[in-house]
Amino acid sequence: MAATDRGDLTRTAILALLGTVGPLSRTEIARELDLSPATVTQLTKELIRYGMLEELDLRPSRGGRPAQRLGLVGSAGRALGVKVTADHLVIVDVRLDGEVLGSWERPFHPASPAALEELADAVAAVVETVEEAPPLLGIGVGVPGSVDEQAVGTVHAPTLGWPAMPVGERLRRRLNLPVLVENDVNALAVAERLYGRGRTHRDFLVLTIGRGVGAAIVADGRVYRGARGGAGEFGHVPVHLDGPVCGCGATGCLEAFVGSAGLVAAARARGLPAGSGEDPPAVVRELGRAADAGDEGAQAVFAEAGAILGRAAAGLVNVIDPEVVVVLGEGTTEWAHWREGFERALRRQLMPGRRDIAVEVEGWDDTSWAQGAAALVLATPFDEAGTAGEQGRLVRARLIGATP
């Protein structure tokens, strides 16, 4: 490997360290990365000149001189994140430090023969409108399905009607920018690793509830993708011997009970007015308002769903032993009504010694999925493991090369 490549990797390691643990002094960087003080001094000088690091306040150190701390510059780069759904796209423009600079929503028709062209057009239109600075490092795309490799981006997504869609290849050709594609829940986990719980936990589980039910497993600081990029299909854990037929074709899947369509079916079975609309998430929001207003039937629908989810989640926690469980997704709006059933069923089913595991429900908004997609690109400068492959190298080159 050429000396410059090694230098790039060490620079990446420094960025990764500061991006994940926060500002540190040069001495602390040298110690953490096992580098000589002279190397750290030289590389951080370059990174400051590139505009990627800045010198922060002097922090008093015990008995010695105050130490100058170095931190990441949030404005050193930006990425666009794209969330693909069955009927629309959400696109966000996000800075390296996670600040959202803008967001867009566009209708989308995944079943159309021109779907990929439509997707590329929508992203290209946003690329043209965003400012020149900070530099655009690349495009992250989150899809509700499995993706072979982030840097290839061939998508298998039955809910979109996509058997083997060359999303990454098509977007790269059209936009001439690095493009990373990933399962949407895995992308959320990357964002958690960069900006959320993952800053303090290396082993955690992300669960998502909403139209579908999903999971991402972060083990030793990395998202576990499985052999074909399909790990984490938590919604298709069987929870019943028969039960309704699931979107995947099997019966008794978790998602068929606690996904939004499952909740609507449960409400109807209880004789509740569960809307005539065709959009289950909208009906679930109505049910949530009824539960807020004290409707016991509606409350029971969520409590029962919470119990089914909690029991299944306990199985997953028992298998992978995470430090913390993070619950995300549109469905968390009604979490107050899921919580009790979930907590009771989860704790009862956990192995002794793990029953006190923390469950954290984080804030959610319409752009959260797309922010996760942007994090695929923004995490790449910190990706020493090379998950993002050749596209990751291009992202790093744009970050380092964009500056004088």
The DSSP element (H or E) to which 142 belongs, if any, is strand 136-143
Q: Which of residues 256 and 400 has its CB atom nearest to Zn ion in the complex? A: 256
Please count the residues of this chain forming the interface with Zn ion, following the rule CB under 5 A.
5
Cα separation, 288 vs 33, in Å, equals: 49
Closest CA to 328 of 187, 146, 194: 187
Residues sharing a CB contact under 8 Å with residue 59, sequence separation 6 or more, in sequence order: 25, 66, 67, 69
Among 248, 300, 320, 336, binds Zn ion (CB under 5 A): 248
Cα separation, 243 vs 254, in Å, equals: 10
* Distance of closest approach, residue 226 Cβ to Zn ion, in angstroms: 16
Tokens of 9: 């990797």
Q: Which of residues 234 and 382 has its CB atom nearest to Zn ion in the complex? A: 234
Cα separation, 122 vs 401, in Å, equals: 27
* Distance of closest approach, residue 248 Cβ to Zn ion, in angstroms: 3
Q: Which of residues 21 and 250 has its CB atom nearest to Zn ion in the complex? A: 250
Q: Which stretch binds Zn ion (CB under 5 A): 42-50, 104-112, 250-258, 268-276?
A: 250-258
* Distance of closest approach, residue 235 Cβ to Zn ion, in angstroms: 6
Q: Which stretch binds Zn ion (CB under 5 A): 20-28, 189-197, 238-246, 337-345?
A: 238-246
Residues sharing a CB contact under 8 Å with residue 351, sequence separation 6 or more, in sequence order: 318
Q: Which of residues 47 and 253 has its CB atom nearest to Zn ion in the complex? A: 253
Q: Which of residues 23 and 244 has its CB atom nearest to Zn ion in the complex? A: 244
Distances (CA, A) of 257 to 237, 287, 316, 347: 11, 15, 17, 20
Q: Which of residues 257 and 364 has its CB atom nearest to Zn ion in the complex? A: 257
* Distance of closest approach, residue 172 Cβ to Zn ion, in angstroms: 32
Tokens of 179: 């493009």
* Distance of closest approach, residue 158 Cβ to Zn ion, in angstroms: 10
Using rule CB under 5 A, residue 237 touches Zn ion:
no
Which value, to the nearest 10 degrees, does the dihedral of the CA atoms of residues 334, 335, 337, 339 take? Answer: 170
Q: Which stretch binds Zn ion (CB under 5 A): 96-104, 199-207, 236-244, 260-268?
A: 236-244
Sketch the per residue contact string, 65 through 104, with Zn ion: x for CB under 5 A, - otherwise: ----------------------------------------
Query: Does residue 46 contact residue 65 with C-beta atoms inside 8 Å?
Result: no
**Signed CA dihedral, 376, 377, 382, 387: sign only:** positive
* Distance of closest approach, residue 246 Cβ to Zn ion, in angstroms: 3
Cα separation, 185 vs 183, in Å, equals: 6
Among 79, 253, 274, 402, binds Zn ion (CB under 5 A): 253
* Distance of closest approach, residue 213 Cβ to Zn ion, in angstroms: 9
Cα separation, 328 vs 330, in Å, equals: 7
**DSSP conformation letters of 159-171:** GGTEEEEEHHHHH
User: What are the residues facing 88 on neighbouring strands?
Assistant: 107
Among 90, 191, 246, 350, binds Zn ion (CB under 5 A): 246
Q: Which of residues 251 and 403 has its CB atom nearest to Zn ion in the complex? A: 251
- For residue 297, give the amino acid letter: G
Three-class secondary structure of residue 133 per DSSP: coil
Q: Which of residues 69 and 236 has its CB atom nearest to Zn ion in the complex? A: 236
Q: Which of residues 104 and 234 has its CB atom nearest to Zn ion in the complex? A: 234
Closest CA to 182 of 78, 313, 324, 81: 81
Using rule CB under 5 A, residue 236 touches Zn ion:
yes
Q: Which of residues 140 and 212 has its CB atom nearest to Zn ion in the complex? A: 212
Q: Which stretch binds Zn ion (CB under 5 A): 26-34, 59-67, 232-240, 315-323?
A: 232-240
Using rule CB under 5 A, residue 377 touches Zn ion:
no
Q: Which stretch binds Zn ion (CB under 5 A): 69-77, 158-166, 241-249, 273-281?
A: 241-249
Cα separation, 267 vs 283, in Å, equals: 10
By CB under 5 A, name the binding residues for Zn ion.
236, 246, 248, 250, 253
